[in-house]
Amino acid sequence: MNPKPYVIIVSGLSGAGKTVMLRTLEDNDYFCVDNLPSSLIDEFLTITTANEQTKKIAIGVDIREKDFLTDVDRIILTLRQRFNLNVVFLEAETDILIRRYKETRRPHPLMHIAQGDIYKAIEMEAAILKSMRESADVITDTSHYSPHQLRNFIASTFGGLVSNAMRLTLISFGFKYGIPQHLDMLLDVRFLPNPHFVDDLRPLTGKDEPVKAFVLNSQDTVEYLRRIEDLLNFLLPRYIKEGKTSLTIAVGCTGGRHRAPTIAEKFVEFVKHHNLTVELIHRDI
């Protein structure tokens, strides 16, 4: 029996990276189409999958496709019966979305309805896409991805057929610049010795060996890492068994340059033996 063709439905908030994802998937041998009318999706998939060479397909859906959004549950249920379907929803923090719109100088698609209020436009869009988000298999917050990082993430996660491995995202950050949103676990390492107050170490980051040596040689760090490693070894197999598809852990220090990156990189070593796809982001370096 031939395996079911693999189909990704890509949706999300405007400015969160849907176009980047579709282009990246296309570069990874997906047959991609954006905003196909829902009445044509079934026929489109029937035609494209009739060609045995077409095994990976991605379809973009946003607020312009109103028929799809008003009948999300039925359409997705029907597609799941015929295809190996994965629904991906991209989102980002409101301030990040606004900054991206300013950088690209593009108007939000609901700007005219929101009477020029960008905050209201984003809020309205999130409400319209609520059912789409609830149907998603994977919800990804792209707030702290650059376009290059997002392309790499998409290529590594969806470039081939998505594996059964849970995706673990580790984020190092500085509390002075705000806490990342949509986290599963937040760890504060501001109690550890701070390289910022060592003149030779201040210009470096937690990716540099002198900083790592300074932070890791503290007895408090050794004890902290031992306890965290035990915690991760306890939690991760249980999250995987429960069927969790993604987990986001953030590690914060004051400025996000020294202690948090050092500790986050140690976490990568701790989780290597688990069935995970790991993404490490140093937000404030």
Question: What's the rounded mean pLDDT across residues 62-84?
Answer: 82
Among candidates 146, 138, 145, 134, which has minimal Cα distance to 163? Answer: 138
The strands making up 31-34's β-sheet, listed across from edge to edge, are 31-34, 56-60, 6-12, 84-91, 138-141
pLDDT in tens, 174-207: 999 999 888 899 999 999 999 999 999 999 999 9
Question: What's the rounded mean pLDDT across residues 203-231?
Answer: 96
What is d(CA 168, CA 160) in angstroms, rounded to the nearest whole number?
A: 18
Kindly report the CATH number that applies to the domain delimited by 6-162: 3.40.50.300
Asked whether the predicted pLDDT for residue 24 surpasses 70, the reply is: yes
Asked whether the predicted pLDDT for residue 268 surpasses 90, the reply is: yes
Q: With beta carbons less than 8 A apart as the criterion, state whether 86 and 164 touch.
A: no
What is d(CA 215, CA 211) in angstroms, rounded to the nearest whole number?
A: 6
Asked whether the predicted pLDDT for residue 215 surpasses 90, the reply is: yes
Asked whether the predicted pLDDT for residue 157 surpasses 60, the reply is: yes
Greater model confidence, 208 or 104:
208
| pLDDT of res. 161 | 47
C-alpha to C-alpha distances, 48 to 55, 160, 212, nearest whole angstrom: 9, 18, 52
Specify the pTM: 0.62
Confidence category of residue 162, pLDDT binned at 50, 70, 90: very low
What interhelical angle do 259-270 and 219-242 show, nearest 10? 50
Q: With beta carbons less than 8 A apart as the criterion, state whether 254 and 196 touch.
A: yes
- Judged on CB neighbours under 10 Å (0-12, 13-18, 19+), 175 is middle
Domain boundaries, the chain: 6-162, 168-282
Q: Whole-number mean pLDDT of the chain?
A: 88
Greater model confidence, 235 or 245:
235
